[in-house]
Amino acid sequence: MSAFNSSAPPSKYVTLVSSEGFEFVVLRQATYCSPTIKKMLDPNHQWAEAKAGRCVFPEISGVVLEKVVEYMQYWYAYREKEDVPDMHIPVDICLELLQAADFLGMDQ
C-alpha cells in the first residue's frame, strides 16, 4: 500500500487526515504551500509521513482541514497568476483556521 521503496518516485497525491479520521487526498504539489507539510513529506528525511505519503493531524478538525485543503488547491491553481479572486472563508471557523495556518506555517 505505502511506497516504502525509496527508489520509486513518490506518488503525485498525498493523504491528509483530520482528527476525526477524515481523509483528504491532495495533489502533492498543492500541499507544498505549507512548509510544515513539505518538510514532513520530504523524501530526504525518513519520516513516517514521507514514506507513507500520509499526514495525520490530531490537532485539526475535519471542517478546518477541509478548508485548508480547499486553500491548497486554490493556492496551487493561482500560484503563477495575477489578480487572484478571493476565497470564501466562513467566519465561524476563522479563528481555528488561523491557528491551523500558524501550525502549518502558511503565513508567507
Partner 1 sequence: MHGIRTEPSEQSTTLVNKVPNLGTAMLFAINMSGSNNRPQPNRRGRNIMGPQSALTDFLASHNISANQIRHEHEERLRAAREAAAAQNGETNTSNGTTPAAPADEDNGMLPDSHATEDMPISTTRRRAPRKGEITEQELKRKKNQANIDKIKASKKRKTGKKADSDSDFLDELLTRSAPLPGQMENCEICDKRFTVTPYSRAGPNGGLVCNPCGKELDKDNPLSKKKGRKPTGGASGKRRNIQSKILDGTYRIGAPSMMTMCVKVLVKNIELADDLGDIPPTAIDKIARNLSKNRMVDSRTLDLFLQPRAHDVYVYDGAKLSSHDIIRIFQRVPQLKNLKIRNAIQFKDEVMEYLLSRDIELESLYLSGSNLLSTRMWNRFVVEKGATLKSLRVYFTDKHFDDTTLALLGTHCPQLKRLKMRHVQAVTGAGIKELANVKSLEHLGIQITHNRALPDVHPDVFVHVLDGIGGGLKTLSLTMVPTADNSVLGAIHQNCRALQKLRITDSEVMTDEGFVRLFSGWDNPPLRFLDLSKCRHVDSTHPRENPDSVGVGSNGFRALMKHSGQKLVHLNVHACRHITKQAFEEVFSADKVYPELTSVEVSFCEEVDDFVVGSIFRSCPAVQTVNVFGCMKVRDVRVPRGKILVGVPNAQGMQMEGAED
Report which of 34, 39, 31 is spatially closest to residue 15, judged by C-alpha positions. 31
81 counts as binding partner 1 under rule CB under 8 A: yes
Q: How far is the CB of 5 from partner 1 (least distance, A)?
A: 34
* Cα 4 to Cα 39, 47, 56, 74, 106, distances in angstroms: 18, 11, 18, 30, 28
Per-residue cell: 41: 513529506
Helix (H) or strand (E) holding 24: strand 23-27
Size of the site for partner 1 (CB under 8 A): 27
Residue whose CB is less far from partner 1, 10 or 62 = 62
Q: How far is the CB of 41 from partner 1 (least distance, A)?
A: 18
Q: What letter does residue 91 receive in the DSSP assignment?
A: G
Q: How far is the CB of 32 from partner 1 (least distance, A)?
A: 12
107 counts as binding partner 1 under rule CB under 8 A: yes
Q: Binding residues for partner 1, per CB under 8 A?
A: 33, 68, 71, 74-75, 78-84, 86-87, 89, 91, 94-95, 97-99, 101-102, 104, 106-108
